[in-house]
Amino acid sequence: MKVFNSKLDNKSNTYRQRRSYMLQLLSELNLRKKQIVEKSPDAVAKLQTRGKYPAREKIRRVLDPGTQPLEAGLFAAWDMYHDIPGGYPSAGTIVQIGRVAGKLAVIVANDPLVKSGAWVEITCKKNLRAQEIAMENRLPIIYMVDSAGVNLERQAEIFPDREHFGRIFRNNAKMAAMGIPQISVVFGFSVAGGAYLPSMSSDLAMITEHSSMFLAGPFLVKAAVGQEVDMETLGGAEMHNAISGVADYRFDTEDEAFAFIRNQMAMLGANSRAPFDRITPEAPQFDPDELLGILPDNAAGTYDMREILARLVDGSRFEEYKPEFGKSIFTGFARLGGFAVGIVANQGMPVKRQMPPDHLGRPQPPQVQMGNVIYSDSANKASHFIMLCNERKIPLIFLHDVTGFMIGKQAENGGIIQDGAQFVNVQANSVVPKLTVVIRNSFGAGNYAMCGKAYDPRLIFGWPTAKIAVMDGGIAADTVLLTKKELSDEERQAFRKKLIDKYNAEASPYFTAARLMIDGILDPRDTRQTLIAGLEMAANNPELGEFKTGVMRM
């Protein structure tokens, strides 16, 4: 593979302007992260007087020292629960993937400082996402339980549907059947249906005078059956260890529980590994810090996606597949953290397409195409490339900057619907691990074809510049206005502005991350390490399944 010949001028005004814009976005990102992560000192002090640690500190004390976990769902529930004082930071649950006793694990910790760990809809969705990551990658999962159960004022959001609370326990059972270790420690409350989660785990530990686990607490028991019983007698650590047998271990302190978790992880037997090729990793030859100055600071700006790739992949080397064909999509092979990977990325600048002769055989001039639009030739190239990677057991990386598939008379006559359908078919049936990063735009069916959330990426993150929507807000507004001929010019302007503002708000990476449409928002400089972490996760599951597409209309 050849080293990419970068043409990025990091001394130019354009670079400095673009970098300044990205730094502004990162400043906002870091401020919002801080607002989520930092807790009230008084609340933390109150926990400590009871011999308890904050949720993030619990996780830190279990992880291997010096290792950096990957967090999923940090921005879950961001700016959503305005009727609840303080909102629901991180949906009241922390999910991290990290190394414990040298082995990768998913860690799920309820945050008792967020409404006593009670669950709302997004909390449920986040826990399901954590279980999904564990199941897809065959990773052990550690539950740090401290939850008052369902937020009873919002029960309709979380109780009866397929992807609601009951799905958690269904997944407990499925993971048990798959042989995935589930280690639970109840650090505080574990109430009502939530008590099934630890009780369905492989191991269950409780902490003396801290833990309580029951289907109904003392107040409900009194109201429903007339019994008066204290919390310890009803469901304390001693009772569940000595009498009911629901729990397996009892500890006097949280520190003892942390040691228990680490010991259980240390004794897990090794799994067979996925058949991915991996060699010694190599750093990129170009500085990843320069990623901050590549993306335009305006919608009309252009850039070369290869400049981004050169600052992500090992040695800044890649072998481009079909470089002269379907140029609005980049496809190529590279290594990332030593892993062989296939890359599918939208181009960020106009490209020239060599046109075939007309019906009389006369040569036609090259056609300039928009880089971030998917044309028929690009769709066909990408479909073939995804099939190649499945044939060769090579994981796939998708980098989004796509405004959708090409439209218009020429595109429709050329069969763009069918070429797009073939692309989506291959994507849906791909069996190798897929990791997705939304760099800038991710609109319409382009989101589907490029492995958006609906197409099962093992991880999906966005940059602060990410926008995910059915289409650009301005185009959406202009389309709708064609149907509103009765409006005056003033009303049309007001309507257009309102709809564009709505689209911009809903396309924001914070909006999509809050609803777990993406797993988080990345500083571009963290992209390489995040993708490597995803590949290391994926390598833990040796089962890929058989790649087949069924009937494909050609």
Q: What are phi and psi of 243, to 5 degrees?
A: -115, -60
79 — pLDDT class (breaks 50, 70, 90): very high
Query: 462 — alpha (psi -120 to 50), left (phi > 0) or beta?
Result: beta
Q: What are phi and psi of 400, to 5 degrees?
A: -90, 130
∠ CA(32), CA(15), CA(325), 5° rounding? 100
- Exposure letters 34-53 (e unless 16+ CB within 10 A, then b): eebeebeeeebeebeeeebb
The pLDDT assigned to 104 comes to 97
Tell me the per-residue pLDDT of 202-221, one tens digit each, with 9 for 90 and over. Answer: 999 999 999 999 988 888 89
The pLDDT assigned to 356 comes to 79
d(CA 446, CA 382): 12
Q: What token pair was written down for 351? A: 């490209």
∠ CA(8), CA(11), CA(13), 5° rounding? 95
Q: Is the pLDDT of residue 467 over 90?
A: yes
d(CA 378, CA 530): 27
Q: What are phi and psi of 373, to 5 degrees?
A: -110, 140
**DSSP string computed for 68-90:** --EEE-TTTTTTT-TTSTT--GG
Q: 3-state SS of 488-531?
A: CHHHHHHHHHHHHHHHHHHHCHHHHHHCCCCCEECCHHHHHHHH
The pLDDT assigned to 136 comes to 97
| Cα separation values, 262 from 57, 63, 208, Å | 15, 8, 19
Tell me the per-residue pLDDT of 494-528, one tens digit each, with 9 for 90 and over. Answer: 999 999 999 999 999 999 999 999 999 999 999 99
In the 8-state DSSP scheme, what is residue 160? S
In 3-state terms the chain splits into helix, strand, coil percentages (rounded to 5) of: 45, 20, 40
d(CA 155, CA 159): 6
In the 8-state DSSP scheme, what is residue 12? S
Q: Which amino acid is located at 211 in the chain?
A: S
d(CA 345, CA 295): 14
Tell me the per-residue pLDDT of 308-338, one tens digit each, with 9 for 90 and over. Answer: 999 999 999 999 999 999 999 999 999 999 9
3-state secondary structure of 49: helix
Percent of the chain with pLDDT over 90: 85
554 — pLDDT class (breaks 50, 70, 90): low
Q: Dmax over Cα atoms in the chain, in whole Å?
A: 94
In the 8-state DSSP scheme, what is residue 395? -
Q: Is the pTM of this model over 0.85?
A: yes
d(CA 327, CA 352): 8
Map tokens 């921005």 to a residue.
75
153-162, 336-345, 368-377: range with highest mean pLDDT: 336-345
